[in-house]
A = this chain, B = another copy of it.
């Protein structure tokens, strides 16, 4: 939305640096990235190949390379595009803890909406224009909350990593493909997050754990029922409670020095 021309690309960006980018309808960098996101949303990470994407756009795979350099470069752009969906509020110093939790919740929702995105983000330092604007706004909240510079940056990096660690488990089971793609499930497609099959998986885990030999696994067999408790929302809230409270405690201890 804001002018990207003011932001020079980072030196490690895997993109061809060519200037004048005319907009012939069928194909352009923007069109390619949007088509990639649509394809990923619809069919998951495994369905995205340069050939398949080109077909979707009515061209050959080779034509994409002029615009996005490589598949890796395309994924950089996809990641930044999805990050661009995130809205971060203006800092309200009195409410920085709750604002930070909202940021975490929004990140989790985005990761569930695009179940392939956490996997794409692995190995990529998000430094596209949208990622920069996003970081700027989250860090502004932390600074407004009174966190000193180092703690603000460390806390920001750890928050993102923590949420990613959580959502990897949530989105991992389905391999990034949308629910209901397989032929095993009936017409009861339960939408994003697929709670029905997540509960099924938890029940299977419980039954299996309960069936283990009691002498070798005294603790686990006793806890089998708890593995069937798969309320991801509650677990996520617990995680960000622990994290944000701990960060606030550090900030307070830091201020006392």
CA distance A217 to B165 in the complex (A): 28
- Which of A34-42, A79-87, A151-159 is found at the contact surface with chain B? A151-159
CA distance A220 to B156 in the complex (A): 12
CA distance A5 to B246 in the complex (A): 44
Task: Please determine whether A166 and B173 come into contact, CB atoms closer than 8 angstroms.
Answer: no
- Which of A24-32, A55-63, A187-195, A205-213 is found at the contact surface with chain B? A205-213
A8 interface residue (CB < 8 Å to B): yes
Residues of B near A245 (CB, < 8 A) are: 246
User: Out of B119, B122, B212, B242, which one reaches A246, CB within 8 Å?
Assistant: B242
CA distance A139 to B222 in the complex (A): 10
CA distance A238 to B108 in the complex (A): 22
Chain A, 240-251, contact with B by CB distance < 8 Å: what is the 0/1 string?
A: 011101110010
Residues of B near A242 (CB, < 8 A) are: 158, 242-243, 246-247, 250
Apart from A6-B213, A158-B166, A242-B242, what 17 extra A-B contacts exist at CB < 8 Å? Answer: A7-B216, A123-B172, A125-B205, A133-B216, A135-B220, A136-B217, A136-B218, A136-B219, A143-B219, A143-B223, A150-B226, A154-B226, A154-B235, A162-B165, A165-B168, A241-B246, A242-B246
Can you list 26 A-B pairs with a CB-CB distance of less than 8 A?
Answer: A7-B212, A8-B211, A10-B204, A11-B208, A12-B204, A119-B122, A122-B168, A123-B174, A123-B175, A125-B201, A127-B205, A132-B212, A140-B219, A143-B219, A150-B229, A152-B223, A152-B226, A153-B223, A154-B226, A154-B235, A154-B238, A158-B235, A162-B162, A164-B168, A242-B243, A245-B246
